[in-house]
Structure 1
Amino acid sequence: MLKILGAVLVIAAATVSGWLQARQYANRPHQIRKVILALRRLQTEIMYGFTPLPDALQRIGEQSGEPIKAIFSGAAAEMNPPKNRTAQDSLQSSIEASWRFTAMKAAEKDVLNQLSFTLGTSDRKDQLGHIATAVRQLESEEAAARDEQNRYEKMFKSLGLLCGAFIVILFY
Protein backbone atom coordinates (compact mmCIF):
# COMPACT_ATOMS: atom_id res chain seq x y z
CA MET A 1 0.00 0.00 0.00
CA LEU A 2 2.79 2.41 0.88
CA LYS A 3 4.59 1.62 -2.38
CA ILE A 4 1.51 2.50 -4.38
CA LEU A 5 1.03 5.75 -2.46
CA GLY A 6 4.70 6.65 -3.02
CA ALA A 7 4.43 5.85 -6.71
CA VAL A 8 1.32 8.02 -7.05
CA LEU A 9 3.03 10.90 -5.24
CA VAL A 10 6.15 10.66 -7.44
CA ILE A 11 4.09 10.61 -10.63
CA ALA A 12 1.90 13.48 -9.41
CA ALA A 13 4.92 15.61 -8.46
CA ALA A 14 6.63 15.03 -11.79
CA THR A 15 3.42 15.74 -13.69
CA VAL A 16 2.83 19.00 -11.82
CA SER A 17 6.43 20.00 -12.50
CA GLY A 18 5.93 19.40 -16.22
CA TRP A 19 2.68 21.38 -16.24
CA LEU A 20 4.32 24.31 -14.46
CA GLN A 21 7.13 24.39 -17.02
CA ALA A 22 4.57 24.20 -19.83
CA ARG A 23 2.69 27.12 -18.28
CA GLN A 24 5.85 29.24 -18.50
CA TYR A 25 5.91 28.61 -22.25
CA ALA A 26 2.23 29.53 -22.50
CA ASN A 27 2.51 32.71 -20.39
CA ARG A 28 5.52 34.21 -22.18
CA PRO A 29 3.77 35.25 -25.45
CA HIS A 30 0.81 36.66 -23.50
CA GLN A 31 3.06 38.76 -21.30
CA ILE A 32 5.07 40.03 -24.27
CA ARG A 33 1.78 41.05 -25.91
CA LYS A 34 0.82 42.94 -22.73
CA VAL A 35 4.13 44.81 -22.78
CA ILE A 36 3.61 45.69 -26.45
CA LEU A 37 0.13 47.04 -25.70
CA ALA A 38 1.49 49.00 -22.74
CA LEU A 39 4.20 50.56 -24.90
CA ARG A 40 1.63 51.49 -27.54
CA ARG A 41 -0.42 53.18 -24.83
CA LEU A 42 2.72 55.01 -23.76
CA GLN A 43 3.17 56.19 -27.35
CA THR A 44 -0.36 57.54 -27.31
CA GLU A 45 0.17 59.27 -23.95
CA ILE A 46 3.35 60.91 -25.23
CA MET A 47 1.96 61.89 -28.62
CA TYR A 48 -1.54 63.05 -27.79
CA GLY A 49 -1.88 63.29 -24.04
CA PHE A 50 1.13 65.48 -23.25
CA THR A 51 1.14 63.58 -19.95
CA PRO A 52 4.23 63.78 -17.75
CA LEU A 53 6.18 60.52 -17.91
CA PRO A 54 5.58 59.40 -14.29
CA ASP A 55 1.85 59.94 -14.65
CA ALA A 56 1.80 58.15 -18.01
CA LEU A 57 3.71 55.17 -16.59
CA GLN A 58 1.37 55.02 -13.59
CA ARG A 59 -1.72 55.11 -15.81
CA ILE A 60 -0.30 52.42 -18.08
CA GLY A 61 0.59 50.30 -15.08
CA GLU A 62 -2.95 50.55 -13.76
CA GLN A 63 -4.34 49.46 -17.13
CA SER A 64 -1.99 46.49 -17.43
CA GLY A 65 -2.38 43.22 -15.60
CA GLU A 66 0.19 41.65 -13.34
CA PRO A 67 3.17 41.19 -13.64
CA ILE A 68 3.44 43.99 -16.24
CA LYS A 69 1.68 46.37 -13.87
CA ALA A 70 4.51 46.03 -11.35
CA ILE A 71 7.12 47.12 -13.90
CA PHE A 72 5.40 50.33 -15.01
CA SER A 73 3.84 51.29 -11.68
CA GLY A 74 7.14 50.64 -9.91
CA ALA A 75 8.97 52.88 -12.36
CA ALA A 76 6.40 55.64 -11.88
CA ALA A 77 6.67 55.37 -8.10
CA GLU A 78 10.44 55.77 -8.23
CA MET A 79 10.22 58.81 -10.50
CA ASN A 80 7.89 60.62 -8.10
CA PRO A 81 8.94 62.20 -4.79
CA PRO A 82 10.62 61.33 -2.46
CA LYS A 83 12.95 59.26 -4.70
CA ASN A 84 12.88 61.55 -7.78
CA ARG A 85 14.99 59.15 -9.85
CA THR A 86 15.55 59.51 -13.58
CA ALA A 87 13.39 57.59 -16.02
CA GLN A 88 16.31 55.33 -16.90
CA ASP A 89 17.18 54.49 -13.30
CA SER A 90 13.60 54.02 -12.21
CA LEU A 91 12.63 51.79 -15.15
CA GLN A 92 15.76 49.65 -14.83
CA SER A 93 15.27 49.31 -11.08
CA SER A 94 11.64 48.35 -11.54
CA ILE A 95 12.54 45.80 -14.21
CA GLU A 96 15.14 44.23 -11.94
CA ALA A 97 12.73 44.06 -9.01
CA SER A 98 9.78 42.65 -10.97
CA TRP A 99 11.38 40.51 -13.65
CA ARG A 100 11.48 37.27 -11.66
CA PHE A 101 7.68 37.28 -11.53
CA THR A 102 7.38 37.23 -15.32
CA ALA A 103 7.68 34.37 -17.78
CA MET A 104 9.70 36.55 -20.15
CA LYS A 105 13.33 35.92 -20.98
CA ALA A 106 16.49 38.01 -21.21
CA ALA A 107 15.77 39.21 -24.77
CA GLU A 108 12.64 41.05 -23.66
CA LYS A 109 14.45 42.43 -20.63
CA ASP A 110 17.21 43.78 -22.90
CA VAL A 111 14.65 45.52 -25.11
CA LEU A 112 13.08 47.27 -22.11
CA ASN A 113 16.48 48.19 -20.66
CA GLN A 114 17.54 49.69 -24.01
CA LEU A 115 14.31 51.69 -24.09
CA SER A 116 15.02 53.01 -20.60
CA PHE A 117 18.21 54.70 -21.84
CA THR A 118 16.25 57.00 -24.15
CA LEU A 119 12.98 57.38 -22.26
CA GLY A 120 12.61 60.88 -20.88
CA THR A 121 15.93 62.16 -22.24
CA SER A 122 14.95 63.35 -25.69
CA ASP A 123 12.18 65.15 -27.49
CA ARG A 124 8.76 63.63 -28.12
CA LYS A 125 9.45 62.56 -31.71
CA ASP A 126 12.67 60.78 -30.80
CA GLN A 127 11.00 58.97 -27.89
CA LEU A 128 8.17 57.81 -30.14
CA GLY A 129 10.73 56.40 -32.56
CA HIS A 130 12.52 54.50 -29.79
CA ILE A 131 9.24 53.12 -28.45
CA ALA A 132 8.25 52.01 -31.97
CA THR A 133 11.60 50.24 -32.33
CA ALA A 134 11.08 48.49 -28.99
CA VAL A 135 7.59 47.41 -30.08
CA ARG A 136 8.97 45.92 -33.32
CA GLN A 137 11.66 44.03 -31.41
CA LEU A 138 9.11 42.72 -28.93
CA GLU A 139 6.82 41.63 -31.76
CA SER A 140 9.61 39.51 -33.21
CA GLU A 141 10.28 38.08 -29.73
CA GLU A 142 6.58 37.33 -29.40
CA ALA A 143 6.63 35.37 -32.66
CA ALA A 144 9.63 33.39 -31.41
CA ALA A 145 7.87 32.78 -28.09
CA ARG A 146 4.78 31.47 -29.89
CA ASP A 147 7.00 29.09 -31.88
CA GLU A 148 8.60 27.87 -28.66
CA GLN A 149 5.18 27.48 -27.08
CA ASN A 150 3.95 25.37 -30.00
CA ARG A 151 7.11 23.30 -29.92
CA TYR A 152 7.62 22.73 -26.21
CA GLU A 153 4.36 23.16 -24.29
CA LYS A 154 2.88 19.75 -25.08
CA MET A 155 6.29 18.14 -24.75
CA PHE A 156 6.76 19.35 -21.16
CA LYS A 157 3.26 18.28 -20.18
CA SER A 158 3.95 14.76 -21.44
CA LEU A 159 7.52 14.71 -20.23
CA GLY A 160 6.50 15.38 -16.64
CA LEU A 161 4.21 12.38 -16.57
CA LEU A 162 6.70 10.17 -18.37
CA CYS A 163 9.58 11.14 -16.09
CA GLY A 164 7.45 10.36 -13.06
CA ALA A 165 6.55 6.96 -14.49
CA PHE A 166 10.21 6.31 -15.33
CA ILE A 167 11.30 7.13 -11.77
CA VAL A 168 8.64 4.81 -10.38
CA ILE A 169 9.78 2.01 -12.70
CA LEU A 170 13.39 2.54 -11.64
CA PHE A 171 12.52 2.23 -7.96
CA TYR A 172 10.39 -0.90 -8.39
Structure 2
Amino acid sequence: MLLKILGSFLVIAASSFLGYVLSADCSKRPQELRAMQAMLHMLENEIAYLSSILTEALERLCKSNCGRVSVFFEATACNLKGGAMSGAEAWAAAVKDNVRKTSLNSEDAQILLSFGNMLGSSDLEGQIKNIRLTLDQLKLQEQKAEDNKKRYETMYRTLGVMGGIMLVIIFI
Protein backbone atom coordinates (compact mmCIF):
# COMPACT_ATOMS: atom_id res chain seq x y z
CA MET A 1 0.00 0.00 0.00
CA LEU A 2 2.81 2.39 0.89
CA LEU A 3 4.47 1.58 -2.44
CA LYS A 4 1.28 2.53 -4.31
CA ILE A 5 1.05 5.84 -2.47
CA LEU A 6 4.70 6.62 -3.13
CA GLY A 7 4.36 5.68 -6.82
CA SER A 8 1.20 7.77 -7.13
CA PHE A 9 2.94 10.73 -5.58
CA LEU A 10 5.91 10.36 -7.96
CA VAL A 11 3.65 10.16 -11.04
CA ILE A 12 1.71 13.28 -10.00
CA ALA A 13 4.93 15.14 -9.15
CA ALA A 14 6.59 14.22 -12.46
CA SER A 15 3.59 15.20 -14.58
CA SER A 16 3.15 18.44 -12.62
CA PHE A 17 6.82 19.25 -13.16
CA LEU A 18 6.42 18.67 -16.89
CA GLY A 19 3.42 21.01 -16.94
CA TYR A 20 5.36 23.72 -15.12
CA VAL A 21 8.35 23.35 -17.48
CA LEU A 22 6.11 23.78 -20.53
CA SER A 23 4.45 26.73 -18.81
CA ALA A 24 7.83 28.38 -18.22
CA ASP A 25 8.69 28.04 -21.92
CA CYS A 26 5.54 30.02 -22.75
CA SER A 27 6.70 32.91 -20.58
CA LYS A 28 10.29 32.99 -21.87
CA ARG A 29 9.43 33.90 -25.47
CA PRO A 30 7.82 37.31 -24.72
CA GLN A 31 10.74 38.17 -22.43
CA GLU A 32 13.25 37.33 -25.12
CA LEU A 33 11.34 39.32 -27.73
CA ARG A 34 11.40 42.34 -25.40
CA ALA A 35 15.13 41.84 -24.84
CA MET A 36 15.72 41.66 -28.61
CA GLN A 37 13.80 44.91 -29.05
CA ALA A 38 15.92 46.55 -26.35
CA MET A 39 19.10 45.36 -28.05
CA LEU A 40 17.91 46.67 -31.42
CA HIS A 41 17.10 50.05 -29.83
CA MET A 42 20.64 50.16 -28.47
CA LEU A 43 22.01 49.22 -31.90
CA GLU A 44 19.96 52.02 -33.44
CA ASN A 45 21.43 54.49 -30.94
CA GLU A 46 24.95 53.21 -31.58
CA ILE A 47 24.53 53.66 -35.32
CA ALA A 48 22.55 56.92 -35.30
CA TYR A 49 24.22 58.93 -32.56
CA LEU A 50 27.66 57.45 -32.09
CA SER A 51 28.18 56.57 -35.76
CA SER A 52 29.93 53.39 -34.67
CA ILE A 53 31.31 50.80 -37.03
CA LEU A 54 29.07 47.74 -37.03
CA THR A 55 31.62 45.47 -35.36
CA GLU A 56 32.29 47.97 -32.57
CA ALA A 57 28.57 48.59 -32.05
CA LEU A 58 27.91 44.85 -31.79
CA GLU A 59 30.75 44.38 -29.31
CA ARG A 60 29.34 47.14 -27.09
CA LEU A 61 25.91 45.54 -27.27
CA CYS A 62 27.35 42.21 -26.16
CA LYS A 63 28.57 43.86 -22.97
CA SER A 64 25.05 45.05 -22.10
CA ASN A 65 23.98 41.38 -21.98
CA CYS A 66 20.21 41.49 -22.37
CA GLY A 67 19.63 37.81 -21.75
CA ARG A 68 19.96 34.90 -24.11
CA VAL A 69 19.29 36.97 -27.24
CA SER A 70 22.63 38.75 -26.88
CA VAL A 71 24.14 35.58 -28.32
CA PHE A 72 23.06 36.75 -31.80
CA PHE A 73 25.01 39.98 -31.50
CA GLU A 74 28.03 38.28 -29.99
CA ALA A 75 28.16 35.64 -32.72
CA THR A 76 27.75 38.29 -35.43
CA ALA A 77 30.63 40.32 -33.98
CA CYS A 78 32.81 37.20 -33.92
CA ASN A 79 31.85 36.37 -37.51
CA LEU A 80 32.69 39.91 -38.65
CA LYS A 81 36.07 39.88 -36.93
CA GLY A 82 37.16 37.07 -39.22
CA GLY A 83 36.71 39.47 -42.14
CA ALA A 84 35.48 36.80 -44.55
CA MET A 85 31.78 37.63 -44.16
CA SER A 86 29.63 40.64 -44.88
CA GLY A 87 27.28 41.99 -42.22
CA ALA A 88 24.30 40.16 -43.71
CA GLU A 89 26.15 36.84 -43.93
CA ALA A 90 27.51 37.16 -40.39
CA TRP A 91 24.05 37.93 -38.99
CA ALA A 92 22.39 35.09 -40.92
CA ALA A 93 24.99 32.60 -39.69
CA ALA A 94 24.59 33.84 -36.11
CA VAL A 95 20.79 33.53 -36.22
CA LYS A 96 20.82 30.08 -37.81
CA ASP A 97 23.42 28.77 -35.37
CA ASN A 98 21.92 30.22 -32.20
CA VAL A 99 18.14 30.37 -32.58
CA ARG A 100 17.81 26.95 -30.91
CA LYS A 101 19.47 28.36 -27.78
CA THR A 102 16.53 30.71 -27.29
CA SER A 103 12.76 30.35 -27.01
CA LEU A 104 12.19 32.18 -30.28
CA ASN A 105 10.14 30.39 -32.92
CA SER A 106 10.58 30.13 -36.69
CA GLU A 107 8.55 33.30 -37.39
CA ASP A 108 10.82 35.26 -35.07
CA ALA A 109 13.89 33.78 -36.72
CA GLN A 110 12.54 34.74 -40.15
CA ILE A 111 12.08 38.36 -39.00
CA LEU A 112 15.64 38.40 -37.67
CA LEU A 113 16.97 36.93 -40.92
CA SER A 114 15.15 39.56 -42.98
CA PHE A 115 16.62 42.23 -40.70
CA GLY A 116 20.08 40.88 -41.41
CA ASN A 117 19.66 41.15 -45.18
CA MET A 118 20.15 44.93 -44.98
CA LEU A 119 22.65 44.93 -42.11
CA GLY A 120 25.75 46.88 -43.02
CA SER A 121 24.82 47.23 -46.68
CA SER A 122 22.98 50.56 -46.76
CA ASP A 123 23.50 54.09 -45.57
CA LEU A 124 22.71 55.40 -42.09
CA GLU A 125 19.11 56.27 -42.89
CA GLY A 126 18.50 52.86 -44.46
CA GLN A 127 19.94 51.10 -41.41
CA ILE A 128 17.69 53.04 -39.06
CA LYS A 129 14.60 52.35 -41.18
CA ASN A 130 15.48 48.67 -41.26
CA ILE A 131 15.88 48.57 -37.46
CA ARG A 132 12.56 50.37 -36.94
CA LEU A 133 10.75 48.01 -39.32
CA THR A 134 12.18 45.04 -37.45
CA LEU A 135 11.18 46.58 -34.12
CA ASP A 136 7.60 46.96 -35.35
CA GLN A 137 7.52 43.34 -36.50
CA LEU A 138 8.99 42.12 -33.21
CA LYS A 139 6.41 44.16 -31.30
CA LEU A 140 3.64 42.30 -33.15
CA GLN A 141 5.33 38.99 -32.39
CA GLU A 142 5.57 39.99 -28.73
CA GLN A 143 1.82 40.67 -28.63
CA LYS A 144 1.14 37.25 -30.17
CA ALA A 145 3.50 35.64 -27.67
CA GLU A 146 1.75 37.37 -24.77
CA ASP A 147 -1.61 36.13 -26.05
CA ASN A 148 -0.24 32.59 -26.31
CA LYS A 149 1.24 32.91 -22.84
CA LYS A 150 -2.11 33.92 -21.37
CA ARG A 151 -3.88 31.16 -23.26
CA TYR A 152 -1.52 28.24 -22.69
CA GLU A 153 0.44 28.92 -19.50
CA THR A 154 -2.33 27.94 -17.10
CA MET A 155 -3.47 25.17 -19.40
CA TYR A 156 -0.07 23.46 -19.27
CA ARG A 157 0.08 23.64 -15.49
CA THR A 158 -3.43 22.32 -15.09
CA LEU A 159 -2.95 19.54 -17.65
CA GLY A 160 0.24 18.48 -15.91
CA VAL A 161 -1.43 18.08 -12.54
CA MET A 162 -4.67 16.63 -13.91
CA GLY A 163 -2.82 14.27 -16.24
CA GLY A 164 -0.85 12.91 -13.31
CA ILE A 165 -3.99 12.42 -11.27
CA MET A 166 -5.67 10.68 -14.20
CA LEU A 167 -2.71 8.34 -14.64
CA VAL A 168 -2.80 7.47 -10.95
CA ILE A 169 -6.53 6.70 -11.18
CA ILE A 170 -5.97 4.52 -14.26
CA PHE A 171 -3.10 2.62 -12.59
CA ILE A 172 -5.05 2.02 -9.38
SS in 2 for 1:121: coil
1:124 aligns to what? Answer: 124
Q: List runs of 5+ in structure 1 lacking aligned partners.
A: none
For the residues of structure 1 that align with 2:143 and 2:67, how far apart are their CA atoms? Answer: 21
For the residues of structure 1 that align with 2:151 and 2:139, how far apart are their CA atoms? Answer: 18
1:93 aligns with 2:129: no
2:106 aligns to what? Answer: 106
For the residues of structure 2 that align with 1:162 and 1:77, how far apart are their CA atoms? Answer: 47
For the residues of structure 1 that align with 2:66 and 2:6, how far apart are their CA atoms? Answer: 40
Equivalent residues of 2:32, 2:104 under 8 A apart:
yes
For each residue in 1:39-93, what CA deviation from the matched residue of structure 2 results, as whole angstroms up to 9, or x when unmatched? 1111111111111111111211221333112111111111103x53221121111
1:18 aligns with 2:19: yes
1:152 CA drift (Å): 1.1
For the residues of structure 2 that align with 1:90 and 1:34, how far apart are their CA atoms? Answer: 20
Moved segments of 4+, more than 2 Å:
none
Aligned ranges 1:1-172 → 2 under 5 Å: 1-81=2-82, 84-172=84-172
Q: List runs of 5+ in structure 2 lacking aligned partners.
A: none
For each residue in 1:93-114, what CA deviation from the matched residue of structure 2 results, as whole angstroms up to 9, or x when unmatched? 1112221121121111111000
For the residues of structure 2 that align with 1:36 and 1:25, how far apart are their CA atoms? Answer: 18
Structure 1 length as normaliser, TM-score? 0.94
For the residues of structure 1 that align with 2:7 and 2:56, how far apart are their CA atoms? Answer: 55
Equivalent residues of 1:108, 1:141 under 8 A apart:
yes
Deviates more, 1:95-104 or 1:25-34: 95-104
For the residues of structure 2 that align with 1:58 and 1:111, how far apart are their CA atoms? Answer: 22
* Amino acid of the structure 1 residue aligned with 2:133: T
**RMSD value, Cα:** 1.2
